Amino acid sequence: MITLRSLDELRRMDRACEVVHRAIAAVAEAIEPGVTTAELDRIAEKSIRSDGAKPAFIGYRGYPKTLCTSINDEVVHGIPGKRKLATGDIVGVDCGSIFEGYYGDAARTFPVGKVRPEVRRLLEDTEKALGLGIEAARAGAHVSDIGAAVEEFAAARGYGVVREFVGHGVGTALHEEPQVPNYGPRGRGPVLKEGMAIAIEPMLNLGTARVSVQKDGWTVKTGDGRWSAHFEDTVAIGPRGAIILGAGELLRDWPVEALRA
């Protein structure tokens, strides 16, 4: 079942996402050669708890950490640990929080120092793909229109678009309906309505779209060892389009009278 959220609910989700964005920013400041992913995880947990929220990932289906930190050919769900970042690496930082019973979810992929030109383009293009997906998320459109916008852009640039892992609804649980794939075709799936909240999260690979889950049961790697990037935002569907939660846009861009009581 897809739930339409009230203004009060969206305010709480907006706060949860604000907490997530602040935690990711704190992590980004600490990214440098030699830092371990466990250290980044501790920074994120401290930031989230100091904001009066709780980490959303700890204990989720047995997951042990605050962040997912995915390095180079790791697509998503890498578990923070003793591994040290090295110059030229990239690291995906996926983070969630719970504020007053509502969830926020976002991800960014960062370079560690100077990276190869094709890797820099991968990061830039994955972030652009996220933006195009967000632009396509409008009331009256179909869920698959989001994925089609991502896939059309990514495929034209030769990237593999991950299919096994997708975006999702967000609310009083981390993963709710509907699923939000990063591929088309257009015109399929549920119709987007004002008040829906979804996480859009393209995962683009330099090579094949194929991926596999590793022995730890969580870490997902590309099938050919080439690198991958992941960007994600939680958005609310408003009367003028999608609103990125946690970015200070909710009350400015969404007329209160347009929301459900």
| Measured distance CA(201)–CA(70) in Å, rounded | 14
CB of 187 closer than 8 Å to CB of 169: no
Q: What is the dihedral of CA 178, 179, 184, 187, to 10 degrees?
A: -10
Q: How far apart are CA 47 and CA 27, in angstroms?
A: 9
Confidence of residue 249 (pLDDT cuts 50, 70, 90): confident
Output the CA torsion sign for 90, 91, 92, 97: negative
pLDDT at position 125 is: 98
Measured CA to CA in angstroms, residue 217 lies from 62, 167, 204 at distances of: 10, 20, 21
- The pLDDT tens digits for 71-98 are 999 999 999 999 999 999 999 999 999 9
The upper half-sphere exposure of residue 172, i.e. CA atoms within 13 Å in the direction of its Cβ, equals 9
Q: Examine the pLDDT at 259 and tell me if it is beyond 50.
A: no
Note the pLDDT tens digit of each residue in 30-70: 999 999 999 999 999 999 999 999 999 999 999 999 999 99
Which tokens in the block code for residue 126? 């994955």
- pLDDT-derived band at 248 (thresholds 50, 70, 90) equals confident
Tens of pLDDT, residue by residue over 206-218, are: 999 999 999 999 9
Domains of the chain: 7-255 (3.90.230.10)
pTM confidence score: 0.95
N residues, the chain: 261
